[in-house]
């Protein structure tokens, strides 16, 4: 058994935190885990991503092209950078809230529309796209800063992911500052609820 996740976003969105929680949760499930190289300019709102691989026999931290099971994209356009890692039929969980880079306001770069991102992901790469507004859901949980936990919750709702809610919450409690744990658990649970609703439409 093997399950591979790419987490994409920009600095400050919690990409590394999600990777750590998923890794810890997989260890609690008794799986072998490797978290791949992480690249980016997190202090400058640059692109940031992590590869998380889990299973019975994992020897590399980097996901081979075409072997990804899930792309968890905290920022819409960042998904486009990692589509080639996904296998056909993989799941893209997409936060529809864009954070446009400065080049857009300088008119050096045209930010792609959600329709374009969705079309490329589904039609060209054959992904199943689950699209949600993580910020809006996090605000319902109590604070927009918990958007990454909303996305993690949506990921946990996906079929085939080898992590239980119990292990994810235990890992979250070990990773998040104690004063923010309750907020993030609420956000995770709301994310799971939204994920299940979206899955009913896709599968």
> First and final CA of the chain: distance in angstroms?
22
Return the higher-pLDDT residue of 41 and 76: 76
Please work out, in degrees rounded to the nearest 5, the angle formed at the alpha carbon of residue 161 by the alpha carbons of 72 and 155.
Answer: 35
**Percent of all residues in the chain with a pLDDT value above 70, rounded to a whole number:** 96
Q: For the chain, count helices (H), then strands (E).
A: 7, 7
Q: Which helix (H) or strand (E) holds 198?
A: helix 181-202
pTM of the model: 0.93
The whole-number pLDDT of residue 59 equals 87
Report yes or no: 81 and 122 within 8 Å, Cβ to Cβ: no
pLDDT in tens, 1-60: 999 999 999 988 899 999 999 999 999 999 999 998 776 555 566 888 999 999 998 888
pLDDT interval class at 203 (50, 70, 90): confident
The whole-number pLDDT of residue 202 equals 78
pLDDT interval class at 182 (50, 70, 90): very high
CA distance 108 to 106: 5
């Amino acid at each position: 058994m093997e399950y591979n996740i790419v987490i994409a976003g920009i600095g400050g969105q919690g990409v590394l935190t999600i990777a750590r929680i998923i890794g810890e949760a997989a260890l609690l499930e008794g799986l072998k885990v490797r978290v791949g190289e992480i690249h980016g300019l997190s202090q400058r709102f640059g692109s940031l991503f992590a590869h998380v691989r889990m299973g019975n026999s994992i020897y590399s931290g980097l996901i081979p092209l075409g072997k990804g099971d899930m792309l968890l994209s905290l920022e819409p356009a960042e998904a486009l950078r990692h589509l080639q890692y996904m296998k056909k039929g993989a799941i893209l969980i997409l936060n529809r809230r864009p954070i446009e880079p400065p080049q857009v306001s300088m008119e050096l770069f045209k930010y792609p529309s959600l329709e374009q991102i969705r079309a490329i992901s589904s039609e060209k790469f054959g992904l199943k796209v689950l699209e949600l507004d993580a910020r809006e859901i996090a605000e319902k949980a109590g604070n927009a800063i918990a958007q990454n936990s909303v996305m993690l919750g949506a990921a946990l709702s996906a079929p085939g992911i080898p992590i239980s809610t119990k292990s994810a919450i235990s890992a979250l409690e070990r990773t998040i500052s104690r004063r923010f744990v309750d907020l993030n658990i609420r956000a995770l649970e709301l994310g799971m609820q939204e994920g299940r609703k979206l899955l009913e439409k896709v599968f």
